[in-house]
C-alpha cells in the first residue's frame, strides 16, 4: 500500500487549527494519508511510521508542509526517518522524501492569487497589548520542556503532558510554571527539561524519569544527578 505522511511544521498554531489542516490534507490526498505536526503536540514521526507500517504500508512518501519549510528540517528529517528504518526487522516499506511545496512554482502562484475573505482593520490604540498579560503567574519552579522537532520525535509531547499530570498529582500545580518551547539546541540529549531557578538541564527519556523528577526535584528539593547533563552558567567548552 502506497501512503502519504504529511509533515506539518507550524509554530504558534493552535492544536485545533493544526488538526483542521491535517484533516484537510488527509481528505484531499490521492492515496491513503496521515498528517502529523513536527512540533508542540501530537504523534511523533517515528510513532507515525510505526502505525503506517502496522497498517500495511509498503511505500511511504514523507511530504513536508510549510511555506517556507525549514531548511534544517529538510536536511534532518530524511536522516531521522532513516534511523527509524534501521531499527526495523523483517519486511520494511520504501521511504521517500518529497521536496517542499515552495519549490513548486504553480503552488506558490496559487497561494499568491488565492481568493480569500478579507477583514477591514480600523484604528485601535494600544491594540498590541493583550488583556491580562502583565505579570507571570506565581511559581517557584519554572520548567522549560522542549517540544522542538528533534525532541518531538522522541515523544516529548507525551512526556510534557505526563509532567503536568504528575505535578497535579503531587499537588504542586500552584508552584510550577510549565512552558513548552521550541528547540533549546542539545537535541542529541533530548527530550530535555530545563529547571529554573537552579538552571539544571535534565534528560528525561520516559514516564519513569518524569515521576522521579517530580518526586525528587520538585517535591523534595533534591537533584537527579544521573539525569543532569548541563547547568546554566557552566561552560561546556574546553579551557
Place 25 in a pLDDT band, splitting at 50, 70 and 90: very high
| pLDDT on residue 238 | 58
Distance CA 213, CA 74 (A): 34
Place 228 in a pLDDT band, splitting at 50, 70 and 90: very high
The CA radius of gyration of the chain, in Å to the nearest whole number, is 21
pTM confidence score? 0.88
Amino acid at each position: 500500500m502506497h501512503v502519504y505522511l504529511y509533515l506539518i511544521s507550524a509554530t504558534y498554531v493552535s492544536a485545533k487549527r493544526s488538526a483542521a489542516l491535517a484533516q484537510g490534507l488527509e481528505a484531499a490526498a490521492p492515496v491513503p494519508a496521515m498528517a502529523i505536526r513536527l512540533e508542540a503536540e501530537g504523534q511523533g514521526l517515528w510513532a507515525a511510521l510505526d502505525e503506517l507500517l502496522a497498517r500495511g504500508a509498503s511505500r511511504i512518501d514523507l511530504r513536508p508542509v510549510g511555506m517556507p519549510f525549514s531548511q534544517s528540517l529538510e536536511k534532518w528529517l530524511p536522516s531521522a526517518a532513516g534511523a527509524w528504518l534501521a531499527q526495523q526487522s523483517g519486511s520494511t516499506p520504501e521511504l521517500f522524501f518529497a521536496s517542499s511545496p515552495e519549490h513548486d512554482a504553480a503552488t506558490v502562484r496559487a497561494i499568491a492569487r488565492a481568493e480569500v475573505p478579507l477583514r477591514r482593520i480600523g484604528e485601535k490604540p494600544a491594540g498590541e497589548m493583550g488583556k491580562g498579560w502583565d505579570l507571570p503567574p506565581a511559581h517557584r519552579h519554572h520548567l522549560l520542556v522542549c517540544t522542538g522537532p528533534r525532541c518531538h520525535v522522541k515523544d516529548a509531547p507525551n512526556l510534557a503532558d505526563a509532567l503536568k499530570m504528575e505535578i497535579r498529582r503531587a499537588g504542586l500545580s500552584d508552584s510550577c510554571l510549565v512552558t513548552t518551547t521550541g528547540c533549546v539546541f542539545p537535541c542529541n540529549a533530548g527530550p530535555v527539561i530545563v529547571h529554573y531557578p537552579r538552571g539544571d538541564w535534565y534528560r528525561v527519556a520516559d514516564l519513569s524519569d518524569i515521576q522521579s523528577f517530580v518526586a525528587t526535584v520538585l517535591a523534595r528539593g533534591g537533584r537527579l544527578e544521573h539525569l543532569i547533563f548541563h547547568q546554566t552558567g557552566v561552560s561546556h567548552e574546553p579551557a
